[in-house]
Structure 1
Amino acid sequence: MGEQLPAFSAQGIHCIDTGLVRPGFDAAWLVVEQGRAAFIDCGTSHAVPAMLQALARLGLGPEAVDWLILTHVHLDHAGGAGALLAHLPHARVLVHPRGAPHLIDPSRLVAGATAVYGAEEMARSYGQVLPIDPARVHCASDGQSIDLAGRALLCIDTPGHARHHLCVFDARSRSWFTGDTFGISYRELDGPHGHFIIPTTSPVQFEPGPLKHSIGRMLALQPQAMHLTHYASVGQVERLGQQLIEQIDAMVAIARQQAQGDAQTLEQRLFDALSGYYAGRAEQAGLSPAQVLPLLAIDIRLNAQGLVCWLQRGLD
């Protein structure tokens, strides 16, 4: 099984299940220091009660929250930001400069997601996506550190999954809040050789070179753990980072190979090829493909779509 991680709750770090899709799929994070709090990502508007309940369980009120830090503005990470802020009178939002306009005016995000999922599914899964007052939105520069009651939270620019992605390093616990940059690793797939992890190349801004560079920047600080959105905390950081880089190269090779065929069936061919690739990795990890592939079905589909977008932009 995976290595025993420290009790991050004892270090003021708390994982919140946002309830998106299924239990154990989508996490938000709460960091508490000397009675002050910061949320890192927030899920959808449906997650607002869970976020407020997490505060209440720790004896904190909404007025204790100083920051809502968003790793990026994809709806599973930030769709509920406007709805949550309505309950947090003192909180400011920290976001990548490329993401800030979409928080102030989320109409393009909503239109794009609605075109993919349909209005009914948008309402069911994501709820309302509310605009945020520009005065409450602050853009994070690369290397900017914010102070949470004396606790430094370092933000760095981490493109590759999206160009508006940042990650947050907590020096106190020597751990990163990674959004989607450090991939996907569901706790149900922890196996005899530790954590099972895959990159996420979902549409529309996957860039393999920048993603590998971003992973390298995080590993350079020799973190003890990564706190993922999908899902929760993982150790074995150096091993997992190298696996992610290896898989990014393999996925790019698969995409280039499949690009030689009929464009109309490219996404499905990529889905099938990626499924075969992850099945092989599952067997190497001592896991059954029949266990792994159904749990990863959504992610494999999104990875196939992301690779199609990358191919359509031209190989980079």
Structure 2
Amino acid sequence: MNGDIGLQACAHGIHAIDSGYVRPRLDAIHLIVEKGRAAFVDTGTGLSVPRMLEALARLGLGVDAVDYVILTHVHLDHAGGAGLLMRSLPHATAVVHPRGAPHMLDPSKVWAATLEVYGEERARRDYGELVPIPRERLIEGTDGSSVSLAGRKLTFIDTPGHAKHHFCVHDEQARAIFAGDTFGISYRELDQGGEQFIFPSTTPTQFDPPALHASIDKLLALQPRAIYLTHYSEITGIPQKGVDLHRLVEAHAQLGLQWEGCADAAQRAAGLAAGVERMAIDEARRVGGDPAQWTQVLDNDIALNAQGIGSWLDFRKSKRG
């Protein structure tokens, strides 16, 4: 770690920056540097912008060296700082999934939903200012399209399942993928004997198990050396993690189906949360971790995953009419 911005050098000119969101090493921003040119992948929140500018300075890069700000999806812990950051980067172009682009051009609906959930005081405390990106500075990253960072090809892969507005970024030169939340979460403080764990991210409101399984397979087919997660940064040993992730996504879906017939919303929510917590405890024991530590570190993710399963069940019900 390098100072309070958590600047960490990975391989092939890739750097991780701690966004500062909620707690240390929860939310990573990645910076790719190639021949003096740079691209950010995800931005954290509006409060993360000084950290990104500091990272550039520490690496000897000016703000005019940044060509792209790439957003895997538009959840605020990934993209909340994009508009504000773009104001400081005179030559950068933002790249967003076509479904996410309208929310970056006009974030008013996202902000209204955030205020409804958290209230204004907490929303501003956790996310800072939400700023639109000018239309002329934004392009859409469609499936299979790419940009060139000083000759380094970055290809976009449509990967729904966590969110419909999610793409991943394939860095062919590094044999790496920037996966946002599609390939789950893996916090470094839960590494056990040098081994990294994996756990799905099924946050509301667009969890879709079949789509997520298909997206995971897309990533595995590229045989990456490493995958960079927003929560948190570089993981390796990808084939086995893919097996584990498929198993756990299916476990989340099966848990949901167990509660599909429950008409009591509060009872269903409690049952889903308890079920996800049991999964986390089982995984901790499987890898020799401390279940109490796992449930503490994963506390918020357990709650969000349970809510995401509930959203999926509600969607299934709406489709049945």
Same fold (TM over 0.5): yes
Q: What is the CA-CA distance between 1:260 and the residue it aligns to?
A: 2.9
TM-score, length basis structure 2: 0.94
One-letter identity of the residue aligned with 2:222? L
**1:310 and 2:321 matched:** no
**Structure 1 residues 254-300: Cα deviation after superposition (integer angstroms, max 9, x where no partner):** 11112333223211211111101210111011111111001000000
Q: Please, which of 243, 260, 270 is the counterpart of residue 272 of structure 2?
A: 270
1:3 aligned partner = none
**1:211 and 2:212 matched:** yes
Question: CA distance change for structure 1 residues 151 and 117 in 2, over 3 Å: closer, same or farther?
Answer: same
Give the number of equivalent residue pairs: 310
Higher RCO (C-alpha 8 Å, min separation 6): 1
Instruction: Within 5 Å, give how 1:151-300 maps onto structure 2.
Output: 151-192=152-193, 194-261=195-262, 262-300=264-302
**1:72 and 2:73 matched:** yes
One-letter identity of the residue aligned with 1:212? H
Q: What is the CA-CA distance between 1:118 and the residue it aligns to?
A: 1.1
1:46 aligned partner = 47
More off after superposition, 118-127 vs 257-266: 257-266
TM-score, length basis structure 1: 0.96
One-letter identity of the residue aligned with 2:316? G
One-letter identity of the residue aligned with 1:67? Y
8 Å CA contact retained: 1:192, 1:285: no
C-alpha separation in 2, matches of 1:204 and 1:41 = 20
8 Å CA contact retained: 1:177, 1:228: yes
C-alpha separation in 1, matches of 2:261 and 2:194 = 36
C-alpha separation in 1, matches of 2:291 and 2:10 = 33
Q: Any stretches of 5+ residues in structure 2 without a counterpart? A: 1-7
Q: Any stretches of 5+ residues in structure 1 without a counterpart? A: 1-6
C-alpha separation in 1, matches of 2:61 and 2:18 = 18
One-letter identity of the residue aligned with 2:87? A
The secondary structure found in structure 1 opposite 2:298 is helix
Q: What is the CA-CA distance between 1:16 and the residue it aligns to?
A: 0.6
One-letter identity of the residue aligned with 1:279? I
Q: What is the CA-CA distance between 1:107 and the residue it aligns to?
A: 0.7
Instruction: Within 5 Å, give how 1:85-104 maps onto structure 2.
Output: 85-104=86-105
C-alpha separation in 2, matches of 1:117 and 1:237 = 36
Instruction: Within 5 Å, give how 1:49-60 maps onto structure 2.
Output: 49-60=50-61
8 Å CA contact retained: 1:193, 1:286: no
The secondary structure found in structure 2 opposite 1:32 is strand
C-alpha separation in 2, matches of 1:73 and 1:260 = 32
Identity of aligned residues (%): 50
**Structure 1 residues 85-135: Cα deviation after superposition (integer angstroms, max 9, x where no partner):** 010001000010000000010011111111111111100000110111111
Quote the RMSD (CA, aligned, Å). 1.3
Q: What is the CA-CA distance between 1:193 and the residue it aligns to?
A: 7.3
